[in-house]
Amino acid sequence: MNKALKKLGKEELYLLLLALSRINKENADFLKLKLQETPEDAIVYYKKKIKNILWNERINLREARKVISDFKNLSKNPEHILELMVFYVENGVELGEEYGDMYEAFYSSMEAMFEHIITMLNDNPHLMPLFRERINSILKRSCEGWGHKGILMGIHKELKDTRSEIL
């Protein structure tokens, strides 16, 4: 395939990319991310996608997690991935504050994502100063329903950052 692509001219490549972006939304999103001028633009785009999915009339946790998964396939930058993961859990906290007690699968999803956040922070301790306050805010604001707060606190204990506050 590389040889065939190298033979194409600029116009042919342009038309091929347009055709690929029209085939499905993932291709279009991939191109959109790769063509962003700064990584921050791409993060803003993916945050909007997460927020729209979570704050929809019908919350679709699987689709919101897929947005993060798709982003991970496009970018390996741990800071950017953590930004989206923390944003996902923060929105979960806000949904709980807005609508009250949520359902068990909702909390399980938030807890699983929080666990991924802690693991990633342990693997990238230099990023902890960027996320410490937001992690603490998640812990302080999370609800007690379904033992959610206690589970998050237990997960947080796995964090290797000794300077991290615990409620």
Q: Give per-residue pLDDT as tens, 57-109.
A: 999 999 999 999 988 888 889 999 999 999 999 999 999 999 888 899 999 99
* This prediction's pTM: 0.83
Residue 5 CB burial class (10 angstroms; 0-12, 13-18, ≥19): exposed
Extents of the domains making up the chain: 1-35, 38-156
What is the structure's pLDDT at 45?
87
